[in-house]
Amino acid sequence: MEQYINRKYIIGGIILLIGLIFTFRLFFLQVINSTYKLSAESNTRRMEIVYAARGLIFDRNGIMIAHNLPSYDLKIAPYELEAFDSTELCEILQIDINTLREGIIRVKSHPNERFNPFIKQLSSETFGILKEKQFKFPGFYFSIRTLREYDREIAAHLLGYVGEVDSSIILKNPYYELGDYIGVSGIEFSYEEILKGEKGRKYKLIDVHGREQGSYKDGRYDTDAKPGKNITVTIDADLQEYGEQLMHNYEGSIVAIEPSTGEILAFISTPTYNPSLLVGRQREENYFVLKNDTLEPLFNHAIQALYPPGSTFKTVNALIALQENVITNSTTYYCDLGYYARGVKIACHAHDSPLDLVHAIQQSCNAYFCNAFRKIIEDPDFESVEDAYTNWRNHLVSMGFTQPLGVDLPYEKGGLIPKPDYYDRYYGKNRWKALTIISMAIGQGEVLTTPLQIANLAALISNRGYYYIPHVVKKIEGIDTIRSKFILPNYSTIDTNYYKVVVNGMEKAVNESGGTATWVRHKDIIICGKTGTAENPQGEDHSVFMAFAPKDDPKIAIAVYVEHGKWGASYAAPIASLMIEKYLTDSIAPYRKWIERRMLERNLLNVE
């Protein structure tokens, strides 16, 4: 009997505990937690998203590049829909009845679609008409957001563009909802978290006709939107615009860097496009047109195109040869219109012979650098060619090659300097030597680099041995310093003294008789430069030039690639010299205007 009494108390206790749990839960839901209260009152209120304005973008001199304009989206609240004059609404919106029906069916079938605009980016005229007649169309309401507007048609690849989120983005980041916008490329992508701001929420009282009657609970549950932070980018808008004008009729790129900071002064990829084309209701249509353009205006040549560096790479091999003590500044080599060894022939142009290192850089002698490269790779101080090659490659890594530099833009490529096992697979272990890969002596063969890397090489040489990671953002509103990786110098493995030899050779290449780019010299600015020709198996070779100026205390380092331009001195060198002059003096001297006209009037697009 006692056993049954104990069981009665146990069962009673369990029932009492369950009752207490239910009581506490009901108290929590009805008194403490307002979520379900809001849900119960949803037939009298509407939640609207308040979109944050994206941060503004300014150039290094405070010139506004990208700002915002208001845009109006029409949305549907499925539970507020009532009978309305569909013909009148279709006339105002200039749509057909099927489009209207499909939109209503969509939001009724998928309630979350209420956040996805039914009609995006109404014109101001349409918005004004519909706003006056909104009471006639219960269940239809507006949300206001901002769209990008650009004061100048420049820097499309640097700025990037904004697009709508898709389901994959929403799954990765629950902050985003249908109808939200997100940075897709360029700065808009890299600095999305900075630029986007934070959305707000507004709860509105709605009467039986779907008309707003004020804030719900006096705005107790509302949250304000927080605008994105403004960004100051490193480019000079005037220099950027000038560079795009010079490159208008060419395919290629210009990258200019301030050596003392790594700040990118100009970032040009051509063909380019007007960034305004990827804003507004025509964005999708324009994107399709740009994507299918045979000239590929969406492709970012500056950080995604991989080219042989050509003779600009001779400066690298000169530095490594000096560092490894396989040559000195006074080492000379003969050139009989090329380099010849064991059946290998690499042609060269006519010039004085023999040459020491400085004059070999000045006159871009292929034979000299083939000899120097062979000494690097077959250096007896190393146990094998593979070890010497690995050492050579490690020097290149320290100079910013073989991997992306880390610029604050998406989709940067790192180029190619093969590891030894690459050649082992092709030729067999210990079955390849310097002559097997001798074309790398002059920046051909398997060597591939981006224009950004060559501009960074120019900055490295101008600084006599170190560089800052190139970057495009100078300042962020409310943040005192930029990322630490951009303000720390990166030192190469080459002693500082050896850079002086290369700098002297680059100075002579532009400023003394016999140099490969003397026709672009400037009488008031000492430009140090190196021409290059990048081999192109599909047609005419590419014109390459890297330079910096002034020689002492340099303010700008630059690389220019002009596809199908053949010789470095033909197109890349004059364009680079004009960019340098424009940046340092803010004008082009009268005696050099003919060079400017020549570059502006020629056209190499669609040339193969």
* Letter string b/e over residues 139-149, b meaning 16 or more CB atoms within 10 A of that residue's CB: bbbebebbbbe
Q: What does DSSP say about strands 212-215 and 466-467: parallel, antiparallel, or unpaired?
A: unpaired
pLDDT range class, residue 343, cuts 50, 70, 90 = confident
pLDDT digits 0-9 by tens, 346-397: 999 999 999 999 999 999 999 999 999 999 999 999 999 999 999 999 999 9
pLDDT value of residue 39:
45
* Residue 377 tokens, joined: 């790779």
pLDDT range class, residue 94, cuts 50, 70, 90 = confident
* Helix, strand, or coil (residue 331): coil
CA distance linking residue 323 with residue 315, whole number of Å: 12
pLDDT value of residue 538:
82
CA distance linking residue 32 with residue 372, whole number of Å: 80
**Count of beta carbons in the 10 Å neighbourhood of residue 603:** 10
Domains and CATH numbers, the chain: 237-601 (3.40.710.10)
Q: DSSP for 523-588?
A: SSS--EEEEEEE--TTSSPEEEEEEEESSSS--EEEEEEETT--STTTTHHHHHHHHHHHHHHSS-
Task: Return phi, psi of residue 156, to 5°.
Answer: -60, -45
Contact 73, 121 (CB under 8 A): yes
CA distance linking residue 583 with residue 586, whole number of Å: 5
pLDDT range class, residue 330, cuts 50, 70, 90 = very high
pLDDT value of residue 41:
47
pLDDT range class, residue 229, cuts 50, 70, 90 = very high
pLDDT digits 0-9 by tens, 139-185: 888 888 888 999 899 999 999 999 988 889 989 998 898 778 899 99
Q: Which helix (H) or strand (E) holds 10?
A: helix 2-27
Alpha helix segments (H runs only) across 329-400: 357-363, 366-377, 385-398
Crossing angle of the two packed helices 124-132 and 86-93, in degrees rounded to 10: 160
pLDDT value of residue 215:
76
Contact 433, 376 (CB under 8 A): no
| Strand positions, DSSP E, 288-363 | 338-341, 344-347
Q: Averaged over 583-603, what is the pLDDT? A: 96
pLDDT value of residue 258:
98
Write the DSSP symbol of residue 28. Answer: I
Q: At residue 275, does pLDDT exceed 90? A: yes
CA distance linking residue 348 with residue 352, whole number of Å: 12
pLDDT digits 0-9 by tens, 452-489: 999 999 999 999 999 999 999 999 998 877 788 999 99
| Strand positions, DSSP E, 320-449 | 338-341, 344-347
Upper half-sphere CA count for residue 105 (Cβ side, 13 Å):
6
Closest CA to 74 of 95, 53, 52, 59: 95
Closest CA to 455 of 326, 373, 561, 551: 561
Contact 574, 598 (CB under 8 A): yes
Contact 504, 351 (CB under 8 A): no
Closest CA to 107 of 97, 119, 95, 96: 119
Phi-psi region of 473 (alpha: psi -120 to 50; beta: other; left: phi over 0): beta
pLDDT value of residue 89:
87
Mean pLDDT of the chain: 89
Upper half-sphere CA count for residue 39 (Cβ side, 13 Å):
6
Q: DSSP for 43-104?
A: GGEEEEEEPPPPPPEE-TTS-EEEEEEEEEEEEE-GGG-----HHHHHHHHT--HHHHHHHH
Question: Which of 455-459, 544-548, 601-605 has the lowest average pLDDT?
Answer: 601-605
Q: At residue 231, does pLDDT exceed 60? A: yes
